[in-house]
Amino acid sequence: MVVKGPLQPFRAVACFDFSVRFRRLKNITLLTMPGCLRIREVSMKLPWKHSHCIVCGVSGGLSIEHIIPESFGGVLTCCFICRRCNSSFGSGFEAGARLAPELRKAAFGLRNSLPELNDKLERGGEYKSLFEDQISKRKLRKDGHLGISELKDGSLIVPEPDALGQLKSIMQKRGISDSEIKNALTMWEDAPAGHRVDLGAGVIVKKWQEHPSTPTYTEPSLSPLVPLKIAFEFAALLVGGLIYDDAFGSLRDVLRKQDRNLADEMVTHNRASKPDAFHGIAFEGNHEVAQFQVRFFGLLAYTVRFPKIAIDHPPAVYTHRLDTGDDWVHLADGAD
């Protein structure tokens, strides 16, 4: 489905009077330009003057929270949730969120402009490769190599940096003498690619020159709790201390309990026509209820609607360009 209309704010450049509305951003390095606010900072830390966690309400012990997950390339932070909530999100719905296939596919579409982020998202992802007639499924390691896997016939597929160590350990387990192992390893090093070489003691090796691997994309899709959390935190930036109001109680509960089913009822997933190197958060105003849009890599759009809550604030948009590092805040003054 192609998203129309509501996406406009991410590109809109209109004359907004943000001088009053964005007081909360005041202590950030700002370069003002006609109609919008331009912020250039590697990390954009927003101030929070209250002492309670916006999720569980506990007092004190607040920690720095990345509003768009850092693992996605997010830089907007605010110290407004407690360490316990922060780590519970980190080990809960945010754990492995960057491996969501839709997110990685969108980043892959931008790999030329965002090579590092694309690589970072792929770490830990599962890949499949064909070895003769057998399929090997392996996870991409931090060092950029696919891990070790065992094929159905009992043979091992080992990445090159691990090969010597693996061979040595296999041969040691078989009680082969050190000098024989040394000879075998030399034979392995000299072995031509693509040929089977018998190293003795039942160890046969083959160096694979190339074995194209493709992601299996079998990891879970992105939890709706991720865009819901982002929208809730963005709402906190807009309403300040009112985020502690009872009206937000049910939203806080959904986040605290990490209730995916209830989050699902508030979040709709759409797609724009093509990826673009930005993440964005928009408060689109009240469409019966407060409506937000969260965008990842320009392409993935999540509409978040807060049940039974309207927010008395003009529409506002935050955009983070992933290619240039620029952050933009657009704030409509009054009616959109």
Choice from 68, 85, 158, 171 touching Zn ion (CB under 5 A)? 85
Does position 37 interact with Zn ion (CB under 5 A)? The reply is: no
Residue 251 to residue 63: CA distance in whole angstroms: 20
Taking the complex as a whole, the smallest distance from the CB of residue 232 to Zn ion amounts, in Å, to 12
Residue 284 to residue 14: CA distance in whole angstroms: 15
Taking the complex as a whole, the smallest distance from the CB of residue 254 to Zn ion amounts, in Å, to 14
The span from the first CA to the last CA of the chain, in angstroms, equals 24
Which lies closer to Zn ion via its Cβ, residue 53 or residue 311? 53
Does position 82 interact with Zn ion (CB under 5 A)? The reply is: yes
Choice from 3, 12, 28, 56 touching Zn ion (CB under 5 A)? 56
Which lies closer to Zn ion via its Cβ, residue 53 or residue 75? 53
Which lies closer to Zn ion via its Cβ, residue 104 or residue 229? 229
- Measured over the CA atoms of residue 270, residue 271, residue 277 and residue 282, the dihedral's sign is negative
Which lies closer to Zn ion via its Cβ, residue 85 or residue 181? 85
Residue 16 to residue 23: CA distance in whole angstroms: 14
Does position 121 interact with Zn ion (CB under 5 A)? The reply is: no
Which lies closer to Zn ion via its Cβ, residue 62 or residue 157? 62
Taking the complex as a whole, the smallest distance from the CB of residue 79 to Zn ion amounts, in Å, to 12
Which lies closer to Zn ion via its Cβ, residue 72 or residue 89? 89
Pairs from 152-161 (Cβ < 8 Å, separation ≥ 24): 157/129, 157/131
Say how many C-beta atoms besides its own lie within 10 A of residue 182's C-beta: 12
Taking the complex as a whole, the smallest distance from the CB of residue 246 to Zn ion amounts, in Å, to 17
Choice from 25, 55, 140, 236 touching Zn ion (CB under 5 A)? 55
Taking the complex as a whole, the smallest distance from the CB of residue 4 to Zn ion amounts, in Å, to 37
Taking the complex as a whole, the smallest distance from the CB of residue 313 to Zn ion amounts, in Å, to 24
For residue 243, CA distances in Å to 229, 275, 307 come to: 13, 32, 14
Choice from 25, 44, 53, 316 touching Zn ion (CB under 5 A)? 53
Taking the complex as a whole, the smallest distance from the CB of residue 52 to Zn ion amounts, in Å, to 8
For residue 78, CA distances in Å to 49, 81, 104 come to: 10, 8, 26
Cα atoms in the 13 Å half-sphere on the side-chain side of 68? 23
Which lies closer to Zn ion via its Cβ, residue 250 or residue 268? 250
- Chain centroid, CA 173 distance in Å: 42
Which window, 77-85, 150-158, 168-176, 198-206, contacts Zn ion (CB under 5 A)?
77-85
For residue 327, CA distances in Å to 29, 34, 76, 98 come to: 11, 15, 9, 21
Phi and psi at 129, nearest 5°, equal: -135, 155
Binding site residues, Zn ion, CB under 5 A: 53, 55-56, 82, 85
